[in-house]
């Protein structure tokens, strides 16, 4: 299995603290040695860093820890390969442009019978179940909405239905974003925490590192982190329910779908 990390914030925020703990799971405190990636949305633009090598040894990952990239939406993934070899083309997150926006996707879990999911506009580059499911998801959304709907709601409602179909094929924990909304679907495990004033101290569970958020924030900041498992051991993280889709915007939950 892999691990997921997402962030949604109402001000451009760096993810150095959370990522420092997360990347230690990539071959350090965790078994996820088969690559890692992180994607940042900035000023309507998008960039990602991916490496098929363990994050704990990666000079690129170290750079990301030390070089604060400010973003409102971040998606990251560390991989323990099951379907598809360890190579760059199989390294999450995956990206495709839809409706003039870069859509970013990362998946934790494993699917059965995914080869039968029909593809349309989007074709996988690599050989993973994850990327195939992504191409199917976006293809279905685009088939339903040839142009972007005026609001996120119809997209989220259809996405929830599609995620439930994928959950029927196995384990499908999802992070997906277009840069505005961060869609999180829980199949087995996803937890989240929202940090806002009054800010306190947090201690990483996977590295010897503490941060006092009050020194790095303003009273209006709202920053939420979503992950496969809690990244800190002195804060209370909330667990999502299997079958639940949360839509995050500006650091807060904007909508909730399921479980039904």
Q: How many Cβ atoms are within 10 Å of 241's Cβ, its own excluded? A: 10
Nearest-approach distance from CB 46 to a second copy, in angstroms: 7
* Catalytic annotation, pick one of 2, 104, 163, 184: 2
144 counts as binding a second copy under rule CB under 8 A: no
For residue 251, CA distances in Å to 88, 120, 154, 176, 237 come to: 31, 33, 21, 15, 15
**Main-chain dihedrals φ then ψ at residue 163, nearest 5 degrees:** -65, -40
C-beta closer to a second copy: residue 146 or 198: 146
Interface with a second copy, residue 217, by CB under 8 A: no
Q: Is 163 a catalytic residue?
A: no
Give the angle subtended at the CA of 134 by the CAs of 195 and 186, to the nearest 5°.
Answer: 40
Whether cis (ω within 30° of 0) applies to the bond prior to 198 is yes
Q: Which is nearer to a second copy, 138 or 231 (CB)?
A: 138
Report CA-CA distances (Å) from 121 to 85, 93, 125, 137, 183: 25, 19, 13, 11, 21
3-class secondary-structure state, position 40: strand
Binding characters for a second copy, 52-91, by CB under 8 A (x = yes)? x------xx--x---x-------------------xxxxx
The SS3 call for residue 200 is coil
**Only segment of 75-83, 97-105, 159-167, 240-248 that touches a second copy (CB under 8 A):** 97-105
CB of residue 109 to a second copy, shortest distance in Å = 22
What are the residues facing 191 on neighbouring strands?
Answer: 227, 239
The reply on whether position 146 binds a second copy by CB under 8 A is no
Q: Which of the stretches 16-24, 40-48, 161-169, 215-223 binds a second copy when contact is defined by CB under 8 A?
A: 40-48
> Is 219 among the residues that bind a second copy (CB under 8 A)?
no
What size, in residues, is the chain?
260
Residue 100 interacts with a second copy (CB under 8 A): yes or no: yes
Smallest separation, CB 246 to a second copy (Å): 25
Q: How many residues bind a second copy (CB under 8 A)?
A: 33
One residue of 12, 28, 126, 242 binding a second copy per CB under 8 A: 126
* Binding string, residues 105-124; x marks residues near a second copy by CB under 8 A: ----------------xxxx
User: Of 90, 115, 126, 122, whose CA–CA distance to 169 is shortest?
Assistant: 115
- The 3-class secondary structure across 177-215, one letter per residue, is ECCCCEEEEECCCCEEEEEECCCCEEEECCCCCEEEHHH
Catalytic residues: 2
**Residues forming the site for a second copy (CB under 8 A):** 42-52, 59-60, 63, 67, 87-91, 95-97, 99-102, 121-126
């Amino acid at each position: 299995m892999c691990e997921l990390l997402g962030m949604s914030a109402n001000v451009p925020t760096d993810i150095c603290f959370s990522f420092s703990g997360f990347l230690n799971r990539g071959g350090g405190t965790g078994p996820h040695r088969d690559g890692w990636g992180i994607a940042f949305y900035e000023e309507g633009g998008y960039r990602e860093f991916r490496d098929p090598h363990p994050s704990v040894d990666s000079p690129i990952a170290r750079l990301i820890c030390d070089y604060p990239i400010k973003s409102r939406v971040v998606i990251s993934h560390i991989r323990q390969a099951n379907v598809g070899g360890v190579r760059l083309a199989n390294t999450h997150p995956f990206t495709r442009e839809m409706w003039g926006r870069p859509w970013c996707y990362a998946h934790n879990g494993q699917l059965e019978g995914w080869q039968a999911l029909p593809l349309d506009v989007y074709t996988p580059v690599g050989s993973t179940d994850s990327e195939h499911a992504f191409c199917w998801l976006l293809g279905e959304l685009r088939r339903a909405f040839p142009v972007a709907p005026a609001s996120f709601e119809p997209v989220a409602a259809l996405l929830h239905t599609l995620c439930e179909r994928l959950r029927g094929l196995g384990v499908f924990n999802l992070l997906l974003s277009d840069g505005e909304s961060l869609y999180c679907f829980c199949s087995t495990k996803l937890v989240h925490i929202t940090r806002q004033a009054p800010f306190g101290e947090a201690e990483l569970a996977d590295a010897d590192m503490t941060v006092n958020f009050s020194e790095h924030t303003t009273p209006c900041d709202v920053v939420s982190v979503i992950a496969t498992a809690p990244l800190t051991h002195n804060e209370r993280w909330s667990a999502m329910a299997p079958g639940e889709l949360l839509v995050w915007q500006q650091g807060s939950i904007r909508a909730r779908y399921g479980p039904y």
